[in-house]
């Protein structure tokens, strides 16, 4: 059975020493002590409330009984603990029922949730994302009614986009909406793969639905966003009549069993327009981009849990002898941890998890600064960075999360394949992250086709300058001079490849799709290397000798074993679209 110890010490180190979150944000009352206290409390909650229910979430899962979804044992109580602690609305303004804490702390919250019980995360993340979306785009009346109820955990939420014939191509959405004489709307259609589509955790569920008004333009330009509650609020804001929306099926999934994944039917359901007609996709993408970061944290959190359990097993399991002769002569065999290939797996996991943690928290900090930066220039730069790095983090973290869980299962040998030990659950649970909120191939196309070129490459240029600046700042540190030089070369290689791919794409747009996945991984490895330079720099500046030794050792592994993969990915990315497209479709 899986165990989990929240890495609060490392998260606090990243936030306070590597990123200097309190200094960057400059908020009244936000201090290193507050950050460490929040992280510690969240870690305690995840260990005590979520780890014990993870197994039942997988083995028992959700059930659809008489039109209502029943969640696994313990999920309702755990949700209430998070709601009562104010963690659902932690980043919302106090006037909306929140605590006014920065988004970067929400990143820490969700990493730990995903490690302790991955399938629980959407029950927290969806109302957070819905509240943020409504706070930004809804009218004052809608905001006043819905956002506080979402922030306090009284009401849950969903994001209703996908349909039986419409996945990534949202222009194919067929769900329709019609305006009534009293200003309300009715919604008709079917949505599938809806996380949390129904549940018995909250008293109401707020569905945010993309639909097409009568006479609206075809494609994505004709989509509007509607709020469609499970129970229509009465005049006092309480629970009123049941709305004409219902779950008709629970999907049977590979993993991720603790979250209800529903097919939902809207049969003339009462709804209210959010924002302007035919501008729904822009509003919905506030929720989508929030969700993409949370999906990245599914991969990161699962990898942390996999690493912890694999490392513990490798220290305890006796198997074989060291290649240089017995190290524990009094025992019948040496522990697995003495074997180089086991070390390769564990150090690879740790290099991703600790570097990825820093990158995810840095991205959360950019989201904060995009709203609270002291100048227009600072807010624009942070917004650019958030847009540029979101597809990188979503795609790479979900890929590496799955790869890490799979390789850590290998450490357990045959015992990893046995359900009782829990390692195979991590593999099954985190596999969804590579698919949901935009499959990873789409993220790669978004990065190379949109984000890199936006505003004449402004964000990409700023990112390169930021990395170079940090490398210059650490140039005096003897311990990392060589690593910084390698990273600078890798950054320049990505820059050259960027220009080459974009130039060829002017004649054949398939070059973007052909190069995208490998280009994104190369970009992501450079970003992880940048974080490792910052991590080691902060560790060297501190007086914790054990941390310094550990960080130097893991960074050494990263720069020797992971960063060199950049060149291989770029060779593939620049191999040309014809390699993929020359064979006729009927012969593929």
Residue 105 scores a pLDDT above 90: yes
| Token pair for 517 | 């996945």
| Token pair for 290 | 């929030």
| Token pair for 301 | 């959190």
Residue 430 scores a pLDDT above 90: yes
Residues 194-247 have pLDDT tens digits of 999 999 999 999 999 999 999 999 999 999 999 999 999 999 999 999 999 999
Residue 209, beta-bridge partner list: 160, 226
404-406-411 Cα angle (round to 5)? 90
Could you tell me if residue 396 is inside a domain?
no
Residue 23 scores a pLDDT above 90: yes
Domain boundary among 219, 244, 278: 278
Alpha carbon distance 304, 106 (integer Å): 17
Buried b (16+ CB within 10 A) or exposed e, 262-277: bbbbbeebbbbbbbeb
Q: What share of the chain is helix, strand, coil (3-state, %, to 5)?
A: 60, 15, 25
Give me the chain's average pLDDT, please. 97
Alpha carbon distance 26, 422 (integer Å): 42
**Residues found in the chain:** 588
Domain boundary among 278, 304, 325: 278
Banded model confidence at residue 383, pLDDT cuts 50, 70, 90 = very high
Residue 187 scores a pLDDT above 90: yes
230 is in which domain, residue-wise? Answer: 156-278
Same domain, 227 and 184: yes
Residue 267, beta-bridge partner list: 188
Domain boundary among 278, 306, 339: 278
Residues 6+ apart with CB under 8 A from 83: 152, 153, 154
Give the pairing of strands 204-213 and 185-195.
Answer: unpaired
Residues 396-411 have pLDDT tens digits of 999 999 999 999 999 9
Could you tell me if residue 82 is inside a domain?
yes
Residue 28 scores a pLDDT above 90: no
Same domain, 161 and 269: yes
Would you state the pLDDT for residue 1? Answer: 84
Contact 110/188 with Cβ under 8 angstroms?
no
Residues 493-527 have pLDDT tens digits of 999 999 999 999 999 999 999 999 999 999 999 99
Same domain, 227 and 112: no
Alpha carbon distance 26, 262 (integer Å): 42
The arithmetic mean of pLDDT across residues 254-281, rounded, is 98
Could you tell me if residue 430 is inside a domain?
no
CATH number of the domain enclosing 51: 1.10.540.10
- Is 437 part of the annotated catalytic residue set? yes
Same domain, 121 and 179: no
Report how many domains make up the chain: 3
Residues 326-378 have pLDDT tens digits of 999 999 999 999 999 999 999 999 999 999 999 999 999 999 999 999 999 99
Backbone angles phi, psi at 403, to 5 degrees: -60, -40
Same domain, 39 and 116: yes
pTM: 0.98
Backbone angles phi, psi at 560, to 5 degrees: -85, -35
Could you tell me if residue 520 is inside a domain?
yes
The arithmetic mean of pLDDT across residues 557-564, rounded, is 98
What is the percent of the chain with per-residue pLDDT over 90, rounded to a whole number?
98
Residues 271-292 have pLDDT tens digits of 999 999 999 999 999 999 999 9
- Tokens 């074989």 correspond to 320
Say which of 103, 304, 437, 511 is annotated catalytic. 437
Residues 36-76 have pLDDT tens digits of 999 999 999 999 999 999 999 999 999 999 999 999 999 99
Banded model confidence at residue 469, pLDDT cuts 50, 70, 90 = very high
């Amino acid at each position: 059975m899986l165990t989990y110890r929240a890495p609060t010490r490392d998260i606090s180190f990243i936030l306070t020493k590597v990123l200097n979150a309190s200094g960057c944000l400059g908020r009244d009352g936000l201090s290193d002590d507050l950050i460490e206290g929040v992280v510690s409390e969240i870690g305690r909650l995840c260990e005590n409330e979520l780890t014990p229910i993870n197994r039942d979430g997988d083995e028992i899962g959700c059930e659809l009984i008489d039109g209502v979804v029943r969640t696994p044992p313990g999920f309702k109580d755990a949700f209430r603990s998070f709601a009562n602690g104010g963690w659902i609305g932690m980043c919302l303004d106090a006037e909306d029922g929140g605590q006014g804490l920065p988004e970067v702390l929400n990143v820490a919250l969700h990493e730990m949730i995903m490690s302790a019980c991955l399938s629980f995360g959407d029950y927290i993340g969806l109302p957070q994302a819905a509240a943020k979306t409504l706070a930004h785009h809804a009218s004052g009346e809608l905001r006043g009614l819905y956002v506080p109820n979402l922030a306090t955990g009284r009401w849950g939420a969903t994001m209703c986009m996908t349909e039986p014939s419409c996945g990534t191509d949202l222009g194919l959405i067929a769900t329709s909406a019609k305006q009534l004489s009293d200003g309300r709307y009715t919604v008709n259609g079917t949505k599938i793969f809806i996380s949390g589509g129904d549940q018995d955790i909250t008293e109401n569920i707020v569905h945010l639905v993309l639909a097409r008004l009568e006479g609206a333009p075809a494609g994505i330009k004709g989509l509007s966003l509607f709020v469609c509650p499970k129970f229509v609020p009465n005049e006092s804001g309480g629970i009123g009549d049941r709305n004409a929306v219902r779950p008709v099926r629970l999907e049977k999934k590979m993993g991720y069993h603790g979250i209800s994944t529903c097919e939902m039917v809207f049969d003339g359901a009462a709804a209210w327009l959010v924002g302007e007609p035919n501008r729904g996709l822009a509003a919905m993408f506030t929720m989508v981009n929030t969700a993409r970061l949370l999906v990245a944290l599914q991969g990161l959190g699962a990898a942390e849990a996999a690493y912890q359990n694999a490392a513990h097993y490798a220290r305890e399991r006796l198997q074989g002898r060291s290649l240089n002769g017995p190290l524990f002569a009094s025992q019948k065999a040496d522990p697995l941890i003495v074997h180089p290939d086991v070390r390769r797996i564990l150090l690879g996991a740790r290099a991703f998890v600790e570097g990825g943690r820093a990158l995810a928290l840095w991205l959360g900090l950019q989201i904060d600064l995009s709203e609270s930066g002291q100048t227009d220039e600072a807010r624009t730069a942070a917004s650019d960075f958030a847009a540029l790095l979101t597809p990188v983090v979503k795609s790479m973290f979900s890929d590496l999360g799955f790869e890490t869980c799979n390789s850590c299962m290998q450490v357990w040998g045959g015992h990893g394949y046995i359900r009782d030990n829990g390692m195979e659950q991590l593999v099954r649970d985190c596999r969804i992250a590579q698919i949901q909120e935009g499959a990873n191939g789409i993220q790669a196309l978004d990065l190379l086709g949109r984000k890199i070129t936006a505003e004449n490459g402004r964000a990409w240029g700023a990112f390169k300058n930021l990395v170079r600046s940090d490398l210059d700042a650490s140039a005096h540190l003897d311990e990392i001079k060589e690593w910084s030089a390698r990273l600078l070369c890798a950054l320049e290689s990505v820059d050259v490849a960027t220009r080459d791919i974009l130039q060829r794409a002017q004649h054949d747009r398939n070059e973007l799709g052909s190069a995208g996945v490998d280009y994104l991984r190369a970009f992501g490895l450079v970003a992880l290397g940048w974080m490792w330079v910052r991590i080691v720099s902060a560790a060297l500046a501190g007086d914790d000798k054990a941390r310094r030794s550990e960080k130097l050792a893991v960074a050494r592994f990263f720069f020797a074993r992971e960063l060199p993969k950049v060149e291989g990915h770029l060779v593939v990315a620049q191999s040309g679209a014809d390699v993929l497209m020359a064979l006729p479709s009927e012969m593929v």
